[in-house]
Chains A and B, each alone.
Chain A
């Protein structure tokens, strides 16, 4: 990953009146890194992004961008470009006007402005639109222009606040790929706010999952998916979400028990030796429940009864019951299962997750 930090946030506090939104937040982002801030609505993602941009005055802490303390700098002096969910284009100006207004205001020479506008328009393929007004553009084109407005600033850090949320699903997928290409091509640091996990998983070098103004886990998409640090992250990532079972560890910490549901933990990769005999939560993703020939050879094998089947084309989601507990599992799209069937299943414990019932942290 990046060898040099680009954005560094130290002990950031921010509150709106009496409402504390961000609490003692620390975050380091490497140069050229694509960091995604992911979390449910109202968790403070936009607020954090606005703090980095300088659009909100913070109550305490420091923000450094490229090694410079910018805590008290104006947004325009921080070396950032920003793209908004509502595009926020200047409606009375043409696309060219939108791209160049900030530069003209900063008294950049005319020739240089023309060069930068041309370059940005080429990268984003909006050259034919340069003389149109935003009202005459589609949503996708508008968002391209908004990205262009950040591009012409020639800054090191791009901030995106849910830039694709207002677009339809197909366009969103297209633009997502384009953003990824843009990042590969420019190599800028990008901080990207979204509540769409697909966007987060596909775009990010690292994902910061936020909840209630705190970062719950900061790691690569693979790590977050495979080794969620706590129950909230495990539940938040993955669709359909993880199966959770409340139970306890046996005294020797070798078996998870929840009534008749007993799972030997020999294959579970504990972070450290754990004392037994206490309440824990076992989580297993629907796609990590093995079926067919693999189920027989799995270290943990058992039988399940199918209750409901949801065919989704590429795969099939099966709602089943094992030892009286509900279990969702994902099977091949062609799997022939029907309610009432008995299934042999296995649990891929290497990819399961055990959480302490009280602290909700991974064991």
Chain B
């Protein structure tokens, strides 16, 4: 008889403890933050989406006009240029930050001397704000006293490197500045990822006679998948922040050649007092972000539960 009493679970309470009352203090304490998050993030997002379907100009007015604002948006040349710029900038900065960041990290990983010095130098731009970066690169790329002038002074009279004043190339000028600032961080992340790879894997692949580049591509990079996913998210958030860089470096010029969507939204909201149009633009940006974010969340969190 007594033995049944000692069976674990024999004295289990009839009902499991109430879910709601467990950790009550913590739950009460977090209510303000939860409310803030709900009101500010969810509330404002919903508000923006709703008002993007109205005729609102500077004073919010609930006068629905269906998809009129979106139609106008997608027939505005400036928005189309912005989208195109963002696509070019986004794609290029994704590819180049990853490639350059990884290559730099792989070079730093060769047990070179002065590694800390190099790492600091390469990471330094990251500490600057986009505004400073934009101004610095505006000067560097200025034909009258930047790279072009220096190289011409060295004797190459016909040298021309002036991306910012040409409508076709200005976005690449912005890209250079963006890469200069962002690649250091990507490199450090990649370096941490590379350092996390078991050294014995490298030894095994050397014994197997696999050349270093193949080891990187077929063994090391696949092992770094989590680092790559995180890095992609960081690059993506940098792409969305490109607004500051454009404002500081080119103000969207020449003409509208280097406009980006965030700038379009900002200008319509505060410059032209056309809230409905601005909100339509921002809703489109939200949709884009979700398109990027949802697959990422699936990759990052979805696979862990199965694993």
Contact = CB atoms under 8 A, between A and B. Distances in A.
Interface of A: 50, 53-55, 74-77, 80-82, 84-93, 101-102, 105-106, 135, 146, 149, 153
Shortest beta-carbon contacts, A-B, top 9: A76-B209, A102-B208, A92-B222, A88-B200, A88-B204, A84-B200, A75-B207, A82-B207, A88-B201
A92 B219 CA distance: 7
A86 B200 contact: yes
Interface of B: 198, 200-201, 203-211, 214, 218-219, 222-223, 307
21 contacts: A54-B206, A75-B203, A76-B207, A77-B209, A80-B207, A82-B203, A82-B204, A82-B207, A84-B203, A84-B204, A86-B198, A89-B201, A90-B201, A91-B223, A92-B223, A105-B210, A105-B211, A105-B214, A146-B204, A149-B204, A149-B208
B53 to A, nearest CB: 47
A50 B223 CA distance: 24
Contacts of B222: 91-92
Nearest to A80: B207
B198 A88 contact: yes
Contacts of B198: 86, 88
B210 A85 contact: no
Give the one of A55, A87, A146, A153 with max B CB within 10 A: A55
A76 B223 CA distance: 23
Nearest to B209: A76
B304 to A, nearest CB: 13
A334 B223 CA distance: 55
Nearest to B223: A91
A102 B200 contact: no
Contacts of A81: 207
B207 A106 contact: no
A123 to B, nearest CB: 19
A72 to B, nearest CB: 15
Contact of A102 (B201, B203, B209, B307): B209
Give the one of B207, B208, B211, B307 with max A CB within 10 A: B207
A50 B211 CA distance: 18
B219 A90 contact: yes
Given A85-B200, A86-B198, A55 B219 contact: no
A106 B209 contact: yes
Contacts of A80: 207
Contact of B203 (A53, A91, A149, A153): A53
B219 A53 contact: no
B307 to A, nearest CB: 8
Nearest to B204: A88
A76 B203 contact: no
A82 B208 CA distance: 9
A359 B203 CA distance: 39
Contacts of A54: 206
Given A85-B200, A90-B201, A101-B218, A55 B223 contact: no
Given A74-B206, A75-B206, 18 more contacts: A53-B207, A54-B206, A76-B207, A76-B209, A84-B200, A86-B198, A86-B200, A88-B201, A88-B203, A88-B204, A89-B201, A89-B204, A91-B223, A102-B208, A102-B209, A105-B209, A105-B210, A153-B208
B209 A74 contact: yes
A50 B210 CA distance: 17
B239 to A, nearest CB: 28
Contacts of A86: 198, 200
Nearest to A146: B204
Contacts of B203: 50, 53, 55, 75, 82, 84, 88
B200 A101 contact: no
A88 B202 CA distance: 8
Given A86-B198, A86-B200, A101 B223 contact: no
A77 B219 CA distance: 21
Given A85-B200, A90-B219, A92-B219, A101 B206 contact: no
Contacts of B223: 91-92
B202 to A, nearest CB: 8
Contacts of B210: 101-102, 105
A135 B307 CA distance: 9
Contacts of B219: 90, 92
Nearest to B307: A135
A325 B211 CA distance: 62
Contacts of B200: 84-88
B197 to A, nearest CB: 10
A75 B219 CA distance: 18
A4 B203 CA distance: 29
Contacts of B207: 53, 55, 75-76, 80-82, 102
A354 to B, nearest CB: 43
A148 to B, nearest CB: 12
Contacts of A135: 307
A204 B278 CA distance: 79
B204 A76 contact: no
A41 B203 CA distance: 20
Given A90-B219, A92-B222, A76 B206 contact: yes
A54 B218 CA distance: 23
A74 B207 CA distance: 8
Contacts of A74: 206, 209
Give the one of B198, B201, B203, B219 with max A CB within 10 A: B203
A86 B202 CA distance: 12
A53 B201 CA distance: 14
B25 to A, nearest CB: 40
Give the one of A105, A146, A153 with max B CB within 10 A: A105
A55 B209 contact: no
A166 B166 CA distance: 62
